Amino acid sequence: MHDIETAMLGCIIPADSYDTLQAIQTATKLYMGPMSAKITTGEKMEISKRMSRIMNSTYMEEDEKLRQLKDQIEDYNQELRTNHIRDRDVQNIQPQSIGLFQEAMWYIKHVAIVLLSMFIAVPSLMLFAPVAMICQNLSLKEKSRALAASSVKYKAFDVVASYKIMVAIVIVPIYNLLLSIILVKMVPFFSFISLPFVYFVFTPIVQYLAVIASDAFVGNIKRIARRVRIYKKGRRTLREQRNRLVRKLRIAVNEYGPKVLGPDFEEKRILKNEDVENIDATQVSSLASTARSYLGSVKQDLHDFDVDVIPEDLVEIISSVFSTAGHAVRREVSME
């Protein structure tokens, strides 16, 4: 029992409030970025703990920049909640427009999925609404009791989820039996002898298809709604806000990590600077290649019109300027 308790305590992220806990979780995701897919769950938990130590350190009270960073992360979380957007949606925003045709195809694809799944999903949702209502009402009552009896629970989502499962385990088989009996009575080619087949084979298969259709129906409606809200809010504004937080957060980790976590911070850190660099050498060189490609096409267009006003080496010169500007951006970011 002691080992279990120790293991559970190892998964706890200390925070003085729920908003602070959410800020720590968001800061961890912002810091890891795409690298979160390349590290283990244990390493993610360790990064969260270290981020918590920085957020809960005395430097948070002493340093105005660190306090402002925490406030900005909390404001970012609040903005996501207000607009019903996830951080993952903002992270996946394309830095540039993907084009009207691609955008239209995205909407056509997801609207088509909604329309096709609607014919199965809507009747299924209506059919199983009684089960959902019973599970929801009973779990909310259990949630109220759990919150009243606990001094550490804030929303008791774990209680709601576990109680819904417990209630569904009891109610769903009974409800399926009722549906099977009604189906046998209403469908001519089903007889009472076929009730076991309907109950154990036919009904589960239909329910499985209903779950898939309902998931596609609801999920794609949410995706479309989130995409519309992102465009309404301003895709560039959200992405730039997130990128600013990422840069400031990584600078803060490099500055306060050794102070809070010890002088061996660099040796023990899970993600190195090169792993989480916001503007790496590949991105910088891509600026030059993009400039070279674009100016080359302009040069070709001018030649097509017998306009030869661009010197041969101008493309290389401007490409070099783009590359130098990229390195300057990196230096400016590191000095903020």
Of 49 and 99, the one with more pLDDT: 49
Q: Which has more confidence, 269 or 152? A: 269
Q: Is the pLDDT of residue 140 over 90?
A: yes
Q: Where are the beta strands (DSSP E) in 247-332?
A: none
15 has pLDDT over 90: no
pLDDT band at 73 (very low <50, low <70, confident <90, very high): very high
Residue 227 has pLDDT above 80, yes or no: yes
Measured over the CA atoms of residue 42, residue 53, residue 35 and residue 37, the dihedral's sign is: positive
Contact 314, 295 (CB under 8 A): yes
The CA angle 292-298-299, to the nearest 5 degrees, is 85
> Contact 216/117 with Cβ under 8 angstroms?
yes
Neighbours of 225 (CB within 10 A): 12
Cβ contact 35:250 at 8 Å: no
| Mean pLDDT of the region 195-218 | 94
Specify the pLDDT at position 10: 62
Return d(Cα 76, Cα 271) in angstroms, integer: 24
User: For residue 220, what are its two tokens?
Assistant: 């794609």
Query: Residue 90: pLDDT band by 50, 70, 90 thresholds?
Result: confident
The residue with greater pLDDT, 224 or 285, is: 224
Q: Which residue has the higher pLDDT, 330 or 21?
A: 21
Give the confidence band of 263 by pLDDT, cuts at 50, 70, 90.
Answer: confident
> What's the rounded Cα separation, in Å, for the pair 62 and 54?
12
Higher confidence at residue 158 or residue 288? 158
Say if residues 248 and 336 touch (Cβ distance below 8 Å): yes
Of these ranges, 1-5, 101-105, 281-285, 290-294, the one predicted with the greatest mean pLDDT is 101-105
pLDDT band at 336; cut points 50, 70, 90? very low
Q: Is residue 212 over pLDDT 80? A: yes
Residue-averaged pLDDT of the chain: 80
| pLDDT winner (highest mean) among 21-30, 186-195, 209-218, 290-299 | 209-218
Pairwise CA distance, residues 160 & 144, whole Å: 10
Closest CA to 322 of 299, 289, 293, 296: 289
Contact 75, 19 (CB under 8 A): no
pTM over 0.85? The answer is: no
Res. 333: pLDDT tops 50: no
pLDDT at 199: 94
Per-residue pLDDT at 271 exceeds 50? yes
Q: How far apart are the two ends of the chain, measured CA to CA in Å?
A: 49
